[in-house]
Chains A and B, each alone.
Chain A
């Protein structure tokens, strides 16, 4: 029965809503008919038409009231009110476009930030597309005594773990890169070398082809590729499975393609079976990342207990290698997002805070406006508007603002998501897949509504709480909002202090960046092309062959027209992949492990310094005579010489990089090069040691080629040269030294931009908060200002009165801010470059900006105070 009735009701409701005029006319007609009949009846009884009419209308007990009751019966009142409120709200908004613009901008930024972070988190923290992902764990070596936390394992350890019996499959991977040649093109592809059991533990079926067979995992030239590589390198070629490619010089077959969502531990796009090596029997060689799938009948806790037993057993059997280490389990999902967790919590917390601050700000603005609209609200109440109805109206108005802000928020949200996807942060796996999808839109809308309620509830309640009589009285009580006022001042002062802190920090970082950009890096980065070469151990097993390859490439490069100089180094300065070693001094007592200073070291070809145009300060440079069979030598930079051999010459002194390394004689001191930002950030200033490539072999080098004119045009002939020497070797990361340098400064740039972004946002918010407080106060004191002006006060005097209040808040906040900044910027000292943490320019600049923003924020309401018409102010308020 219900259905028929509900359909009927629904039809009626819809008609009342969308055909309101028609329905109203029908109501008029219906009642008019009744009245007519009544009149007829009265006339029939003998009354005059006029009397009959009066009597009839009286019988209806108020015709219009009855109509209203009939309308109420329609049950669409709430919706109609809502429509009216929205229309009212829209009208209110248009009347104060500036206010709406500010509120919308503030809320939109805050909501957009949250939406962006949500979209990213949504993708990054999405469950892995692994069947029963909660059963898959990473197995780490833990040895607090040696400072090992989540440390890789050795092959023998892994085999013993496998025998422990808690895993249905257990395997491991090693990260690395492969040189891949197909037809006439060679690329460097990041990849994993995997043991048997790894892909089985993950248990993700390939989209094409198959996984490795048992034979292939031990001795096969089989390759699995990622969906991305299949697209990038093979253009989604459906016949990719079975194709032959040359990997590290040996022919291999592509046996399968893994799906797009396959978990990535790094940047890998290729998977090959791990080749057996001598290290496989060395229990101390820990380089395997172990992944296992727990047996179905074994709980996580039981597995942990069993692994502890296994570790204890291994410790007894191999006290030297495994004496104090234990195997710990970590769910693979956690392992893959563990860096993301922290980062997202940090960023998410920041944007959530920003939203709360923005809400508080907007709320205080709305309170101020509610105050100004007290009379309007009071009149509405006096005319019969219910309190709840009024509150609903205000709330609707505020929600409307929030929804508009929510719509605008999609712009910053889109921008934010783009920034995230473009950042390629290793900490955020899959972040490049983040989209403003439906879920994100739903979140955005919900956030907007919540924001609206957060901002609007208290102001709406406050605005409607007041006694109508009180509000309409000729002298409204002044102190009704004193507590309010004080709280808000407190809040504003705090905000100003925070703003100063951010401004100072942003200024310091900005000035550091300027310094870094303008200062000479210690070498001439202009006119140099760099590119990377990585030889595989498979093809170039001996250091001599590696050295020969590099020397030949460099030699041929020098012969190219337009090339002035060419050389190679293991790592470029300001690169992001740096080698550090402990610096030991032979002949001196060995210090405790934590007291060993860290130095950066890089192996270079002899004419590296010449090519980079780095000055020799003392001693000699390297020559080709500093070969493997010659006495080991090293060059150091000026800073290292002054730091460890102060007041005497470092030439002829000896150093040792790690206990197993030979003792080397220092033969020369070269100029300092700028320190990599990341290292400075993590370790402070560290020294730099250069070793001859012949005495410290490296399989991966960066070529540096100094030329005339556009050096980028050297890329093609250089590729030809490398191809000519060995077609299996890819040339990658081809970029100018200037670009490498600016990439190395990206972290500094990012931190600077972030801090300055926060600083600007904080300044805007603080200005808005200040504006709100003062505007509120001005609205409260309208009558007082009117009185002052009518007694002869000049407009400027009134303005000064208001500005004084703003300045007081600014001064208190500014002072607190400086104290806070002095404390906080100490933490920045290690990343600052060329500026002290107490740089007066940064502090003055911050205060200047604050003063400008603050005065502007107080000027607007101050001007309003001077525009008070004394007559009006005294008459009606």
Chain B
């Protein structure tokens, strides 16, 4: 999501619910520690900007190294997902 545009925490949580069709239930509380961890690891960067509600809010955006890391993780995930789906299909067969 951050790959598309910088978002603040609230927007991320809303977007997450929309995108996953409420399948992924990320609690409002656990989102922030995760974001902070990513920020501290340098994968995402944060800046303070005016929000859509005209309030100051912290917007996160993907850094360059973060994007690369995302690509790696995504590729890794796709491989894993592929593998799992193969296994599942095997089981069904």
Contact = CB atoms under 8 A, between A and B. Distances in A.
Contacts of B42: 5-6, 8-9, 12
B56 interface: yes
Contacts of A63: 29
A75 B40 CA distance: 8
A556 interface: no
Interface string A1-25: 1101110110011000000000000
B7 interface: no
B32 interface: yes
Interface in B67-91: 68
A471 interface: no
Nearest to A35: B28
B65 A1 contact: yes
A26 interface: yes
A34 B55 CA distance: 11
Given A30-B9, A33-B57, A60-B29, A12 B40 contact: yes
B8 interface: yes
A37 B41 contact: no
Interface string B1-31: 0000000111001000000000000011110
Contacts of B41: 9
B33 A4 contact: no
A301 interface: no
B29 A4 contact: no
A359 B58 CA distance: 53
B10 A34 contact: yes
B8 A1 contact: no
A70 interface: yes
A472 interface: no
Nearest to B57: A33
A819 B57 CA distance: 82
Contacts of A36: 55
A12 B45 CA distance: 10
Q: State the main secondary structure of chain A at its contact with B.
A: helix
Contact of B30 (A4, A26, A61): A61
A69 B33 contact: yes
Interface residues of B, number: 29
Contact of B28 (A2, A59, A70): A59
Interface in A34-87: 34, 36-38, 56, 59-63, 65-66, 69-70, 72-75
A66 B40 contact: no
B65 A34 contact: no
B33 A66 contact: yes
A66 B9 CA distance: 14
Contact of A30 (B27, B45, B58, B65): B58
A29 interface: yes
Contacts of A38: 10, 28
Nearest to B36: A73
Nearest to A56: B28
A31 interface: yes
A4 B64 contact: yes
A723 B29 CA distance: 100
A26 B33 contact: no
Given A37-B53, A59-B27, A59-B28, A70 B9 contact: no
Interface string B36-64: 11011111010010010101111000011
Nearest to A60: B29
Contacts of B43: 5
Contacts of A4: 63-65
Interface string A237-255: 0000000000000000000
Contact of A66 (B10, B30, B56): B30
A36 B57 CA distance: 12
Nearest to A26: B58
Given A33-B8, A33-B57, A34-B9, A1 B68 contact: yes
A491 B53 CA distance: 74
B43 to A, nearest CB: 8
B53 A30 contact: no
A33 B64 contact: no
Nearest to A10: B42
A70 B63 contact: no
B55 A33 contact: yes
A27 B68 CA distance: 27
Contacts of A29: 56, 58
B51 A73 contact: no
B29 A66 contact: yes
Contacts of B33: 66, 69-70, 72-73
A34 B56 CA distance: 11
Contacts of A74: 36, 40
Nearest to B48: A26
A767 B62 CA distance: 66
A33 B68 contact: no
Given A1-B64, A8-B45, A12-B39, A33 B10 contact: yes
Contact of A5 (B32, B37, B65): B65
B64 A31 contact: no
A8 B63 contact: yes
Given A5-B63, A74-B36, A61 B57 contact: no
29 contacts: A1-B65, A2-B65, A4-B63, A4-B65, A5-B43, A8-B63, A9-B40, A9-B41, A9-B42, A12-B39, A12-B42, A26-B48, A26-B58, A27-B36, A29-B56, A30-B9, A30-B58, A33-B10, A33-B51, A34-B10, A34-B13, A34-B28, A34-B32, A37-B10, A59-B29, A60-B28, A61-B27, A66-B29, A66-B30
Given A5-B43, A61-B30, 19 more contacts: A4-B63, A5-B63, A9-B41, A12-B42, A26-B58, A29-B56, A29-B58, A30-B9, A33-B10, A59-B28, A60-B28, A63-B29, A65-B29, A66-B29, A66-B30, A70-B32, A70-B36, A74-B36, A75-B40
Q: Which 8 A-B pairs have the closest CB atoms?
A: A69-B33, A61-B29, A73-B36, A5-B42, A60-B29, A73-B37, A5-B65, A37-B10
